Amino acid sequence: MSAPTADRTGRAQLAARAIPRLVEAVALVPLVVMVVDVLRAPKLPLLDYWDVLLRITTPSGGFEPDGLLTLQNEHPLMLPSVLYWINARIFDGDNRTLGLAVVLIAALTVLLLRAALPRSIPPIVRAGLVAAASLLVFSPHGLHNFAMAMSGAAWLMANLFSVAALLLAVRGRWWPAWAAALLACLSYGTGFPVWVGIAVIAVVRGEPVWRRVLPIGALAGVLATWTALRPAVEAGTAGTDDFGTLVFRFFTVVGHLWTAKDAGLAAAAGVAVVAALALLLTVADARRSDLLFWWVLACHGLMCCGMIALARLDYGANQGLTGRYTSLATLSCLPLLVIAAALLARREAAKAAVLAVGVGVLGFALGSPEAISVRSNIREAQVQAIAMRAGIAEDLDYRLPDSDRLNPRLAAMGHFPFSADFSLGCAGPELGSRVDLSTAAPLGAPPGPDAPPAVVGYLDSVEPRDGALLVRGWVSGAGLGARCAILVSADGTVTGGGLVSQPRSDVATEYRWAGQDTGFVVVGRGGPGARLVVVLLDGRVLTTELPAADPEGGT
């Protein structure tokens, strides 16, 4: 071989190794994006976390194992509950550290999916499928499960153990597969169908009868235990027994990765996914043994989607678009992509790789509107934290357990917002402290859209909530932003706080000198003489007495 030929051969071999690695590196991008979103999420846990924490802790903050036997919304939550308690003891219950744990769980799932890809698929196609798997697993559609990590710890943990169980079963490692399946069932109800998948694998592999029957017996035992633990539940607010709604909901869950917010389009996409899987099943090459895992995973995902459609039948037709179901859509749709790419790769490897990455990017990009909605929903979580610390959360109708039972446990554990690092963000005044308002300037009303930008503000609403107040408004001018906003009583005692620098495009539109992020929302105790105090970034203090609340919401 001549030297130029050897050089060309060497460069070709180098490219053949480097290009798949570069393509596979795309898988890191959605992971990093999700980590950034998690770090920007609120520190306060949300949703049903507080009900679970109350069950699994003693009054002194210790672990209460009996609480693991109580279902949450009809689902077992045993392993995630242990994770909640560990996070509470070590990291003050920080939602962000729990979110990072969920990111790790999802990353491990992607690695297992990578390990399940057939070796017969060319490296460039394998790399594209790994990138697609990461793009779909970490799609913004599913931000709910990461930013509100209590939810993701359950859904994604069940997925992780289910994928592991099926992969171990395909490889003939039965005892570890059964153990992983049991862990999936202890994580969430969507782990139950994995036993059906294991039984199917045993049948296809021609395993002894006892190995085919054992998973079905295990599923029967799981269902019997679940039935014994299942309490009576209340139906949703949009009750229906319409079979058409059930079908619509099922296909919406399956296909909601492929639309931004349109339930009809999601249902159409779900039908297309199921039809495509059915068509591929008629192709002999698609039924080859090294694709068995992916067929069973698709069935598992579809069974999970069916469970959700049936369980949430009375919650409205658009329930299938809920972001927490994204992982089930991924388990249903990713196998279709893998099987199709495996067939195409026999003839056009490069095109199969491009198809895989393109589909992954599409599923990722379409999740942006859902992510925007999630970020908006959690933006004011710090207000809830302040209300909890101030002892007025129940007055503000937050969905929390009895504070007389919950708050002492949180204080005993040092759980946020009862941890040492809790702060109103004022670099000084905190709940219960007193502030001197003798030098405070009055917070003036806006003079007009074109007036000089003096520091001015406006109260949009002062809402009484039993013994508490919820105050919304904005402050802007002179190029200064607000450091914090607090409520004080007539004697200057700090009774509450909140958030500043909140988006208010409406203010910027009406007052051209105002910035975009001028809004504030504050909670605290009400009473005669209660005042709003705004501390500017330069240290100046502005204040105004709170007027009587207008029943229509204004002041």
Q: Token pair of 424, please? A: 């109103």
Taking each helix axis from N to C end, the angle separating 49-56 and 403-413, rounded to the nearest 10 degrees, works out to: 70
Handedness of CA 371, 155, 41, 35 (dihedral sign): negative
pTM value surpassing 0.85 = yes
CA 459 to chain centre: 33
Name residues whose C-beta falls within 8 Å of residue 440's C-beta, 6 or more positions apart in sequence: 533, 541, 542, 543
- Greatest pairwise CA separation for the chain in angstroms: 95
Taking each helix axis from N to C end, the angle separating 243-255 and 326-345, rounded to the nearest 10 degrees, works out to: 60
Q: What is the pLDDT, as a whole number, of residue 320?
A: 72
Quick one: DSSP state of residue 314?
A: T
Closest CA to 324 of 540, 151, 554, 84: 151
pLDDT tens digits, 41-61? 999 998 889 999 999 999 998
Q: Which residues pair with 238 in a beta bridge?
A: 315
Q: What is the pLDDT, as a whole number, of residue 403?
A: 87
Task: Give the separation between CA 223 and CA 206, rounded to whole angstroms.
Answer: 26
Decide if 426 contacts 483 (C-beta within 8 A). Answer: yes
Q: What is the pLDDT, as a whole number, of residue 537?
A: 84
Closest CA to 390 of 313, 291, 497: 497
Q: What is the pLDDT, as a whole number, of residue 180?
A: 98
Decide if 383 contacts 499 (C-beta within 8 A). Answer: yes
Q: Which residues of the chain have pLDDT under 50?
A: 235-239, 549-555
